[in-house]
Amino acid sequence: MPGPSPLILLVHCADRPGLVAAVTSFLARRGGNILHLDQHVDLEANVFFMRLEFDPSGLDSDADGFAEAFGKEIAKPHAMTWRLYDRRERPRLAILVSKYGHCLYDLLARVRGGELRAEVPVVISNHSDLEPVARGFGVRFAHIPNTPATRAEAEARMLAELEGEGVRTVVLARYMQVLSAGFTDRYPQRVINIHHSFLPAFAGGRPYHQAHARGVKLIGATSHYVTPDLDQGPIIEQDIARVTHRDAVADLIRKGRDLERVVLARAVWLHLERRVLAYHNKTVVFA
């Protein structure tokens, strides 16, 4: 029989001497065995970050008892923001998409292949074009038209779908609609977008056309957490590809879509593996 699932502890707080020792000594006293430990200090902001993965098979209590003791003995005295996760947990994830299917195909294939540790109970779209793709992967498809005139009603229906399916994370796989603050506030740092540009350059719509007009030599893609400010949320992952004067807009779009698939998949993987800590509109990523 397999042993208990490894646990992941994420911590951030104001930096001070002895934080690593406090956490690791507590873990040793309770019988845990460290498997991986990453830590970082933002010297300008004076913020300490830690991701600690450990084997709980020797703990003197279950995970709930460990969490309760950690909160009282370590987190509270040090004013820590912290979360404890089960390594084998498969969060329920919804994908929002419009008409472009390249990221949707890629994510569903990675979930089916076990690369992304998640369950996808529903794909939601403001168009019906990609319903056969979702159905082909055995995922329910919800068509919810979304226009400026019907946005409030559409978002209410979308939220009902997400809550009904117990969704914890939302991925915008080229969902070409702006979400309201009321929507994104329901899923803080749990709505992941792919923007077809190397942000902060060329935010908003038609970035490949903007890049072509400027004669850029590099194009990129950016995955970030969604906030009420359009394309301004904390960045999780980025990548670039080289282009030349010979490339037309169609070439930039073709090359860019390859980047979009990979960058979004990396960002979702990092999020699901609990390797991202967001603060001050940026992130620490323990890759």
Q: Which residue has the higher pLDDT, 209 or 93?
A: 93
Return the HEC string of the chain: CCCCCCEEEEEEEECCCCHHHHHHHHHHHHCCEEEEEEEEEECCCCEEEEEEEEECCCCCCCHHHHHHHHHHHHHCCCCCEEEEEECCCCCEEEEEECCCCHHHHHHHHHHHCCCCCCEEEEEEECCCCCHHHHHHCCCEEEECCCCCCCHHHHHHHHHHHHHHCCCCEEEECCCCCCCCHHHHCCCCCCEEEEECCCCCCCCCCCHHHHHHHHCCCEEEEEEEECCCCCCCCCEEEEEEEECCCCCCHHHHHHHHHHHHHHHHHHHHHHHHCCCEEEECCEEEECC
- Nearest-10 crossing angle of helices 249-272, 207-214: 130
Position 94 scores a pLDDT of 98
Is a pLDDT exceeding 60 seen at residue 21? yes
Closest CA to 224 of 168, 162, 171, 181: 171
Cα–Cα distance measured from residue 27 to residue 8, given in angstroms and rounded to the nearest whole number: 12
Cα–Cα distance measured from residue 270 to residue 286, given in angstroms and rounded to the nearest whole number: 8
Structural domains of the chain, ranges and CATH numbers in brackets? 7-86 (3.30.70.260), 92-285 (3.40.50.170)
Position 216 scores a pLDDT of 80
Q: Order of strands across the sheet with 7-14? A: 33-42, 47-55, 7-14, 81-86
| Percentage of the chain lying above the pLDDT 90 cut | 80
Mean pLDDT of 45-65: 96
Is a pLDDT exceeding 70 seen at residue 60? yes
| Contact between residue 268 and residue 257 where contact means Cβ atoms under 8 Å apart | no
| Percentage of the chain lying above the pLDDT 70 cut | 97
Average pLDDT, the chain: 93
Active site residues: 231
Cα–Cα distance measured from residue 145 to residue 153, given in angstroms and rounded to the nearest whole number: 10
Position 232 scores a pLDDT of 87
Residue-wise pLDDT for 7-19, tens only, equals 999 999 999 999 9
Is a pLDDT exceeding 70 seen at residue 279? yes
Position 47 scores a pLDDT of 97
Q: Which residue has the higher pLDDT, 12 or 243?
A: 12
Residue-wise pLDDT for 179-199, tens only, equals 999 999 999 999 999 998 776
Position 202 scores a pLDDT of 67
Is a pLDDT exceeding 90 seen at residue 261? yes
Q: Which residue has the higher pLDDT, 104 or 249?
A: 104
Residue-wise pLDDT for 109-168, tens only, equals 999 999 999 999 999 999 999 999 999 999 999 999 998 889 999 999 999 999 999 999
Position 253 scores a pLDDT of 83
Mean pLDDT of 54-61: 95
Which backbone phi and psi does 149 adopt, to 5 degrees?
-75, -25
Q: Tokens standing for 97?
A: 């998409």
Cα–Cα distance measured from residue 141 to residue 122, given in angstroms and rounded to the nearest whole number: 6
Is a pLDDT exceeding 60 seen at residue 205? yes
> What amino acid is encoded at 10 in this protein?
L
Cα–Cα distance measured from residue 196 to residue 28, given in angstroms and rounded to the nearest whole number: 46
pLDDT band for 200, please (50, 70, 90 cuts): low
